Amino acid sequence: LVNLDIPDDEKGYELDVFCVPKHYEEDLDRVIIPHGLIMDRTERLARDIVRDMGTHHIVALCVLKGGYKFFADLLDYIKALNQNSDKSVPLTVDFIRLKSYCNDQSTNSVKVIGGDELSTLTGKNVLIVEDIVETGKTMETLLSLLSEYKPKMVKVVSLLVKRTPRSSGYRPDYIGFEVPDSFLVGYALDYNEYFRDLSHICILTEGAKEKYKV
């Protein structure tokens, strides 16, 4: 399993090297993963997924809301592979919401919204698309819930996996980047719904945590 490791002491990039929305300039410490790098890595993940799962119909299950941006970009790359190679894979999509967050603490309660339609996944190859795995407990909860519906195969792709002592040890099948245990925002990673409109993945300042607190 290959993933790109962003070290704990990664200096990242100054904000003025890239385009960052003016309304967030005071709130961000630095850019840690520029948008172009996210896209290049996503393209490669798409190729690996099609190689491993591409012999059967795939149901891509998007974990909302965070995962939607990564989900859309990943599916665009899978579609491009479908159109430009001799082997293509039928693809359908479904959406699920998991609620386990309030402010910057991952709470332990996980609520699945939209779970009643999961019965349609019986006998299917399911690709769960997530933006970030932190403790891994949310994903383990979802996987045990899914197993009750007896899908044929389940693979998980997460753009980010956080190195944290709180981790349950769970690792997705496909990982974009392994990142430090900092509070990250941007590219659809939000903080209380803010920062979804930021293209790069950045580290949030301590002051911003206070400013955007619910």
> 162-173, pLDDT tens digit by residue?
999 988 899 999
pLDDT at residue 112, as a whole number: 72
Contact 160, 136 (CB under 8 A): no
Tokens of 66: 């965070």
pTM above 0.75, yes or no: yes
CA distance 63 to 55: 24
Closest by alpha carbon to 184, among 155, 214, 157, 164?
164
pLDDT at residue 110, as a whole number: 65
Beta pairing partners, 97: 64, 113
- Domain locations along the chain: 38-179
Q: What is the pLDDT of residues 3-53, one digit of tens each?
A: 789 988 888 999 999 999 999 999 999 999 999 999 999 999 999 999 998
pLDDT at 87 over 60: yes
Other CB atoms within 10 A of residue 85 CB: 12
Q: Give me the chain's average pLDDT, please.
A: 88
Please state the rounded mean pLDDT for residues 99-108.
55
Q: Pairing between strand 125-133 and 105-113? A: unpaired
pLDDT at residue 101, as a whole number: 54
Question: For domain 38-179, is the CATH number 3.40.50.2020?
Answer: yes
Query: In the chain, pLDDT over 70 holds for what percent of residues?
Result: 92
